[in-house]
């Protein structure tokens, strides 16, 4: 069991906020209860608070809302069956699940990526759900990758890695910045572009590193700034936002992404991306674009994660 170190707790929250969880407690007779939820969210670090949402129509509504506490079990990528078990009606959901009693008394499942054992802090009615806010009294994490759920399907790091490992149809570009300027290089058709390359057999990271080495500058690889389907070229495009130290690049030149400089780019997706960068650089708060070369969504990245 991990101690209540605030930094360790911050890392645990950050790593598992979007995972699939099983929330557990006990009824008035001491019998274990549980349900699957993906609404687990950290609320506060001081005191350490988390919340989950429970439907008013749940058969366990009274037991959870009137109980002394609950545990949040973040499932690992191998525990889809457990997620399904606790998402469906069952006489005894714990019959074929390995578990033990947590420090606060709620069931803690074996093999999970993390668990948070909580005392009930507050129950907040919210429309057709109740928000259960718990104060974390004990928690633990495991290196096992977590299980995610998006667009009606489970998402696991293993399947994502497998998809990337195919290394076909993936283009990597580097949005390399010096202050509010970005590095643009000549494209073979005479226009300008970001440094980019098709991913080779050695993978995404090696391809990105080669792009950065070509600049001749000390450049730090950053986070993924955009992921989109390039239907014109029939590939998946990954753009990494990178930071370059002062100096003159070996290739291309650093230019501010103004309307006049963007006119020299032939790729409309890059024009849109650099226009977004110009706005976000002024605010100092960047987002992640996900979609295709025509339209998509920008998801804000937490400042502390940058």
> How do residues 133-158 score in pLDDT, each as one tens digit?
999 999 998 877 788 766 556 666 55
- For the chain, how many residues are written? 306
Bigger pLDDT: 132 or 273? Answer: 132
Domain boundaries, the chain: 6-157, 166-305
**pLDDT higher for 41 or 10?**
41
Alpha carbon 111 to chain centroid, angstroms: 21
Residue 272 has pLDDT above 60, yes or no: yes
Over the chain, what is the mean pLDDT? 81
80 upstream amide cis, omega within 30 of 0: no
State the pairing for strand pair 170-178/235-244: parallel
What pLDDT, on a 0 to 100 scale, did the predictor assign at position 270?
83
CA nearest neighbour of 291 among 226, 228, 224: 228
Query: Is the model's pLDDT at 79 over the cut of 60?
Result: yes
Which residues have a Cβ under 8 Å from the Cβ of 31 and sit 6 or more positions away?
A: none
Residue range 88-100: mean pLDDT, rounded = 88
Does residue 188 register a pLDDT over 80? no
By C-alpha distance, which of 198, 34, 223, 220 is closest to 112?
Answer: 34
pLDDT of amino acid 40: 84
Q: What mean pLDDT comes out for the span 191-206?
A: 86
Q: How confident is the model at residue 11 (pLDDT cuts 50, 70, 90)?
A: low
Residue 214 confidence (pLDDT): 92
Distance of alpha carbon 160 from the chain centroid: 13
Q: Is 127 helix (H, G, I), strand (E, B) or coil?
A: coil
Contacts of 178 (CB under 8 A, 6+ apart): 244, 245, 246, 254
At the second CATH level, the architecture of 6-157 is Roll (2.30)
DSSP states of 219-288: EE---EEEEEEETTTTEEEEEEEEEE-SS--SSSEEE---HHHHTTB--HHHHHHHHHHHHHHHHT--EE
CATH architecture of 166-305: Alpha-Beta Complex (3.90)
Provide CB contacts within 8 A for 22, sequence distance 6+.
34, 35, 36, 37, 72, 73, 75, 82, 83, 86, 109, 112
| 114 and 74 Cβ atoms separated by less than 8 Å | yes
Residue 187 confidence (pLDDT) above 50: yes
Quickly tell me which residue has 């549980």 as its tokens: 34
More confident residue, 286 or 277: 277
Predicted local confidence at residue 12, as pLDDT: 56
Flag whether pLDDT at 293 surpasses 60: no
Q: Is the pLDDT of residue 113 over 70?
A: yes
Q: What number is the average pLDDT over the span 248-252?
A: 93
């Amino acid at each position: 069991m991990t101690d209540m170190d605030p930094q360790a707790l911050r890392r645990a929250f950050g790593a598992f906020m979007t995972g699939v969880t099983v929330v557990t407690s006990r009824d008035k007779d001491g019998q274990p209860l549980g349900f699957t939820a993906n609404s687990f969210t950290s609320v506060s670090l001081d005191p350490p608070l988390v919340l989950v949402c429970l439907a008013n129509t749940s058969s366990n509504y009274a037991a959870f809302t009137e109980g002394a506490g609950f545990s949040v079990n973040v499932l690992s990528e191998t525990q889809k069956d457990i997620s399904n078990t606790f998402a469906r009606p069952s006489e005894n959901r714990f019959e074929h699940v390995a578990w033990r009693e947590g420090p606060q008394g709620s069931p803690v499942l074996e093999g999970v990526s993390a668990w948070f054992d909580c005392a009930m802090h507050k129950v907040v009615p919210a429309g057709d759900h109740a928000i259960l806010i718990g104060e974390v009294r004990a928690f633990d994490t495991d290196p096992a990758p977590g299980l995610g759920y998006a667009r009606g399907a489970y998402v696991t790091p293993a399947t994502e890695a497998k998809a990337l490992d195919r290394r076909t149809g993936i283009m990597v570009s580097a949005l390399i910045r010096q202050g509010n300027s970005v590095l643009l290089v000549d494209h073979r058709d005479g226009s300008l572009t970001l440094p980019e390359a098709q991913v080779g057999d050695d993978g995404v990271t090696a391809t990105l590193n080669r792009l950065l080495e070509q600049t001749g500058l000390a450049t730090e690889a950053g986070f993924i700034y955009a992921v989109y389907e390039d239907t014109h070229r029939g590939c998946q495009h990954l753009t990494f936002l990178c930071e370059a130290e002062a100096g003159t690049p070996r290739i291309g030149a650093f230019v501010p992404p103004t309307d006049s400089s963007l006119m020299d780019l032939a790729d409309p997706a890059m024009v849109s991306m650099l226009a977004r960068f110009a706005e976000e650089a002024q605010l100092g708060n960047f987002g992640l674009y996900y979609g295709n070369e025509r339209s998509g969504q920008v998801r804000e990245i937490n400042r502390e994660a940058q």
